[in-house]
């Protein structure tokens, strides 16, 4: 075996070890914390909304992929670590950052059109249940000016489109440093980039399984709960991961991925403000299979562009020496 083949074999062996350590640490920490917290707070019975305190461990778990990535690099630091692409690299990548910020809002808007076109009876431009709950809270607080409830809804939408993506970017960075910083480029050392997109999306979706079992995103009342919810989440994560992987490749940084991830989280549930009911897995959340149709189309388009994209910032260039 010549030196080139030995080097390639060594890189593949190290990549497998890196991925194994990353997955072990990330899943052990995340599922360990979420399952313990869910049992302690009874979230698997009453749901996420019935035990709001579970939001804290869920948020904390978003940083565990970063911990897993650092642990994986630590275990493979003898020429086998990988650059996690933590530098922002804003210069020369402004268009990529703008796409990371604005595309999720466009996808969410188109998703709402698709959802309410399919379920027009559920559209309520002035959701009475939400306004009534706001009015009740206002009365308990000493009253609220007429029309303030509507203003709160408008401000909520504007906040979700403008400020919230940047607020959400920090916890999203905790995830993206793992999924797009380590897992995706490591998989690219073992398989073609398109296959790496699919594999990383599958893993990312399964990682959400415990919180899906708490009703996260889809509630708990749908057929096949929670397994059908996990399947929809896998499909959603694969589509979104295709877009995020392309951002990471184009910019050579995970920060646009974090911004886009934060923007998706910020805009995904805007439709709930205008929905008189719900179709659980269908929407109106962007993560539903109907409201998510534009996201799936975006994912396929980005997946088709993935081939050869790694040449700009490929796995070989990302290895630490």
DSSP string, 230-278: HHHHHHHHHHHHHHHHHHHHHHTSSHHHHHHHHHHHHHTTGGGGGBSS-
Pairwise pLDDT comparison (137 vs 239), residue with the higher score: 239
Cβ atoms of 24 and 90 within 8 Å: the answer is no
- pLDDT (0 to 100) of residue 254: 98
Q: What is the mean pLDDT of residues 146-162?
A: 80
- pLDDT (0 to 100) of residue 60: 97
Of the pLDDT bands very low, low, confident and very high (cuts 50, 70, 90), residue 143 is low
What are the tens digits of pLDDT across the range 252-271? 999 999 999 999 999 999 98
What's the CA angle centered on 164, arms 162 and 165, to 5 degrees?
80
Does residue 100 carry a pLDDT above 50?
A: yes
Does residue 137 carry a pLDDT above 70?
A: no
Q: Which of 50-54, 169-173, 309-313 has the lowest mean pLDDT?
A: 309-313
- pLDDT (0 to 100) of residue 188: 96
Q: What is the mean pLDDT of residues 62-78?
A: 91
**Tokens matching residue 124:** 């309520």
- pLDDT (0 to 100) of residue 78: 63
By C-alpha distance, which of 82, 108, 68 is closest to 236? 108
What's this model's pTM, rounded to 2 decimal places?
A: 0.90
Of the pLDDT bands very low, low, confident and very high (cuts 50, 70, 90), residue 307 is confident
Does residue 212 carry a pLDDT above 50?
A: yes
Of the pLDDT bands very low, low, confident and very high (cuts 50, 70, 90), residue 224 is very high
Cβ atoms of 278 and 284 within 8 Å: the answer is yes
Q: What is the mean pLDDT of residues 181-188?
A: 97
- Measure Cα distances from 287 to 4, 5, 173, 225 in Å: 44, 43, 19, 16
Q: What is the mean pLDDT of residues 200-218?
A: 97
Does residue 171 carry a pLDDT above 50?
A: yes
- pLDDT (0 to 100) of residue 77: 66
- pLDDT (0 to 100) of residue 135: 59
Q: What is the mean pLDDT of residues 141-156?
A: 66
- Measure Cα distances from 168 to 14, 17, 175, 199, 310 in Å: 33, 31, 11, 25, 27
Among all chains, which residue has been given the structure tokens 């990371």? 100
């Amino acid at each position: 075996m010549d030196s080139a083949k030995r080097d390639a074999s060594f890189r593949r062996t190290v990549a497998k070890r890196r991925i194994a350590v990353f997955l072990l640490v990330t899943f052990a920490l995340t599922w360990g914390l979420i399952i313990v917290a869910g049992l302690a707070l009874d979230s698997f019975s009453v749901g996420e909304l019935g035990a709001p305190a579970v939001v804290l461990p869920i948020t904390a778990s978003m940083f565990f992929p970063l911990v897993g990535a650092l642990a994986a690099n630590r275990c493979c630091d003898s020429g086998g670590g990988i650059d996690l692409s933590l530098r922002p690299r804003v210069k020369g990548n402004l268009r990529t950052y703008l796409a990371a910020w604005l595309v999720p809002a466009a996808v969410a808007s188109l998703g709402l059109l698709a959802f309410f076109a399919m379920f027009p009876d559920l559209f309520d431009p002035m959701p009475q249940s939400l306004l009534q709950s706001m009015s009740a809270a206002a009365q308990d607080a000493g009253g609220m000016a007429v029309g303030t409830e509507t203003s709160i809804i408008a401000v909520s939408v504007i906040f979700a489109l403008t400020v919230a993506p940047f607020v959400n970017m920090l916890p999203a960075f905790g995830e993206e440093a793992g999924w797009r910083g380590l897992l995706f480029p490591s998989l690219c050392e073992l398989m073609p980039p398109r296959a790496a997109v699919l594999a990383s999306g599958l893993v990312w979706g399964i990682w959400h399984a415990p919180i899906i079992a708490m009703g996260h995103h889809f509630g708990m009342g749908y057929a096949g709960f929670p397994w059908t919810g996990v399947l929809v989440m896998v499909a959603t994560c694969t589509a979104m991961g295709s877009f995020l992987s392309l951002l990471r490749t184009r910019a050579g940084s995970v920060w646009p991925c974090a911004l886009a991830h934060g923007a998706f989280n910020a805009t995904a549930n805007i439709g709930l403000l205008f929905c008189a009911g719900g179709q659980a897995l269908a929407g109106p959340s962007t993560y539903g299979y109907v409201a998510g149709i534009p996201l799936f189309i975006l994912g396929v388009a980005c997946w088709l562009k993935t081939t050869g994209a790694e040449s700009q910032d490929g796995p070989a260039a990302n290895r630490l020496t």
